[in-house]
Amino acid sequence: MKKLAFAVAAAFAAGTMLASGGALAQEKTIKIAGFGAKSGVVRSFGINSEAALLAAADVINKGGGVKLGDGSKAKFAVEFYDDRCNAEEGISVIRRIAGTDAVVAIGPTCSNVAEPLFGILQKKVGDASDSGLQFPVFTDVAIKVGLAKISEWAFRNVPNEMTMYNSLFYWLKTKHPDVKTIYGGVEEDFAHSRATWYVVMKTRSEASGFSVQGESKWLLNDTNFATQVREMKKANADVIAISAHPFSTCGVLKEMQRQGVKPKVLVGLTSSSSLETLQGCAKQAEGIIIPTSFAPINKEAKNAADTTAKFKGAADLHSMAAWENMFILKQVIEAAKISGKPADVQADRRKIRDSLAKLKTTDGLLGVTKRDAEGEADKPYLFVHAKKGEWKVLHNPL
């Protein structure tokens, strides 16, 4: 009985080995890892990123796949890992990914994961005294300003808020010459929203000739905005800019409605130009203007959105960055002429990193994206506003 069981097990093992060996002989795969948050309030981001990655891989594979250094073609295989927006788990995930034969990772979602994660990467390439992880990370979502410069292995394809808000305020001034003053609303305990008001919105609006009257502050999960909105009412500014995420943005907007605060122009935070805000307070968000790096305004963008929808994800500026990343990586991998063999995986990763670093421009869904020496992107953008429960393009500077 034992001998029979052993024989069956051995045959099974041999069979699977042969089968997988056979599969390897027929089809080469290049593994790309995706990672992000599929838990908590940011769960939708992870779901959408994953869908976009799988959709893009599907399109690339159907088109023949990616060309390796020896001229043969390989298919992309995407695996997505959930880091639950937790720093330790994000680090654990990237180490896990580095232990597989994945050649590059796309992620993370949360800026508070990106910062520690980039911190454990090797700071300068080739620095033998730095024992940091040597693995290229190409971020799709985490948007807090100035993170890619933490490591030469970190690259990002996220919108440049400085450029976008600069352009937005300039455009607002030309479109509404009677609009002179601006007042802000800031989510103080979230690094991204806080930085965006003080470093970006405030400075850029002043540069366009607006007079900043001050700002009201609240916390990410606050529920009572009476005091803050009263301050807004008193300031009576022409423009109110809210640098906060959907939940507190909705809370503030509802309080503004209650207290009868109606600015001439309402401006929002980049990452709030998604379904979440409309889900929470479509009526109160009517008319809010947000600069974004995605809208389905051309054939390519529409196609990307539709394909992602097939994989059960929504297309917004975050998930479409993941889509773009896949195509950029195809280009980068072909330029880097990697071997694709598991034994050369570390060399391949280095080649991909170097190839990413060389990029001066990449193709995005809205147009050409510029890249800088720090590994950051300057993406083409447009302005959307909320109209009747949908994001509609307000102005396309492209």
Partner 1 sequence: MDFYFGLAQIIGVHTLLGLSAYIVLLTGQVSLAQAGFFAIGAYAAGMLTVLAGWHIVPALGAGMVIGSATACAVGFPALRVKGLMLVIATLAFGEGIRLFFFNFDYQVAKGGVQLGPLGGEGFRQIRFFPENGWSTLEVMLFIWIFVVLVMLLLWWFDRSRYGAVLRAVGEDELAAQSVGINLTAVKVSAMTVGGAIAGLGGGLYAHYTTHIEHASFNILVATFAIAYPIVGGLASVLGTLFAVIFVQGVLIEGLRFLGDWRNLLFGALIVLAMNLRPRGILDAQAIVWFKRLFGGGKRNA
Partner 2 sequence: MLDFLQAVSDGVLFGATYALIGIGFTLVFGVMHKINMSYAAASVGGAYCGLLILHVFAGAPPWAVFLLAFAAGGVIGWLVYLTCFHFIPLANPLATLMSTVGMLLLIDEIVVHTTAGMPQNYPALFDDVMLRFGDFSMRGDLMLVFGVSVLGMIALLLLLYRTGLGLATRAVSQQPVAAQLCGIQLARVNALTFVITGLLGGLAGAMIGASVGALSPLLTTPLTVKGLIVTVVGGLGSIPGAIVAGLLVGGFENVFQLYRGVTERDLYVMLLLFVFLVFRPGGLFAVKGAGR
Partner whose footprint covers residue 303, from partner 1, partner 2, none (CB < 5 to 8 Å by kind): none
Site for partner 1 in 237-296 (CB under 8 A): none
211-218 β-sheet, strand order: 211-218, 181-187, 239-243, 265-267, 289-292, 382-387, 390-395
What is the spatial distance between Cα 77 and Cα 206, in angstroms, rounded to a whole number? 47
For partner 1, the binding residue among 29, 58, 59, 130 (CB under 8 A) is: 130
Residue 84 near partner 1 by CB under 8 A: yes
What is the spatial distance between Cα 104 and Cα 319, in angstroms, rounded to a whole number? 17
Nearest approach, Cβ of 233 to partner 2 (angstroms)? Answer: 10
Q: Distance between the two ends of the chain, CA-based, in angstroms?
A: 74
In this structure, what token pair is assigned to residue 141?
A: 């979502």
Residue 218 near partner 1 by CB under 8 A: no
Cβ-based nearer residue to partner 2, 99 or 260: 260
Partner whose footprint covers residue 98, from partner 2, partner 1, none (CB < 5 to 8 Å by kind): partner 1
Cβ-based nearer residue to partner 2, 259 or 303: 259
Tokens 């600015």 correspond to what residue? Answer: 263
Residue 112 near partner 1 by CB under 8 A: yes
Interior CA angle at 234 toward 233 and 237, to 5°? 70
Do the beta carbons of residue 207 and residue 266 sit within 8 Å?
Answer: no
Which stretch in 130-138, 237-245, 257-265, 318-326 sits in contact with partner 1 by CB under 8 A?
130-138
Count, residues near partner 1 per rule CB under 8 A:
33
Cβ-based nearer residue to partner 1, 92 or 211: 92
Q: How many residues does the chain have?
A: 398
What is the spatial distance between Cα 301 and Cα 186, in angstroms, rounded to a whole number? 32
Nearest approach, Cβ of 195 to partner 1 (angstroms)? Answer: 7
Nearest approach, Cβ of 392 to partner 2 (angstroms)? Answer: 20
Task: Give the CA count within 13 Å in the CB-facing half-sphere of 288.
Answer: 32
Nearest approach, Cβ of 260 to partner 2 (angstroms)? Answer: 8
Phi then psi for residue 280, to 5 deg, are -85, -35
Site for partner 1 in 196-215 (CB under 8 A): none
Cβ-based nearer residue to partner 1, 103 or 365: 103
- Run of H or E residues at 226: helix 226-235
Picking from 98, 109, 192, 114, the residue whose alpha carbon sits closest to that of residue 154 is: 114
In this structure, what token pair is assigned to residue 67?
A: 């060309």
In this structure, what token pair is assigned to residue 155?
A: 């690259």
Partner whose footprint covers residue 380, from partner 2, partner 1, none (CB < 5 to 8 Å by kind): none
Residue 116 near partner 1 by CB under 8 A: yes
Nearest approach, Cβ of 243 to partner 1 (angstroms)? Answer: 13
| Binding site residues, partner 2, CB under 8 A | 39-44, 47, 188-189, 217-224, 226-227, 230, 246-247, 250-251, 254, 257-260, 275-276, 279-282, 284
Residue 39 near partner 1 by CB under 8 A: yes
What is the spatial distance between Cα 282 and Cα 100, in angstroms, rounded to a whole number? 44
For partner 1, the binding residue among 53, 141, 164, 195 (CB under 8 A) is: 195
Three-class DSSP category at 17: helix
What is the spatial distance between Cα 274 and Cα 268, in angstroms, rounded to a whole number? 11
The footprint of partner 1 (CB under 8 A) covers 38-39, 81-82, 84, 87-89, 91-92, 95-96, 98-99, 112, 115-116, 119-120, 122-123, 129-133, 150, 188-191, 194-195
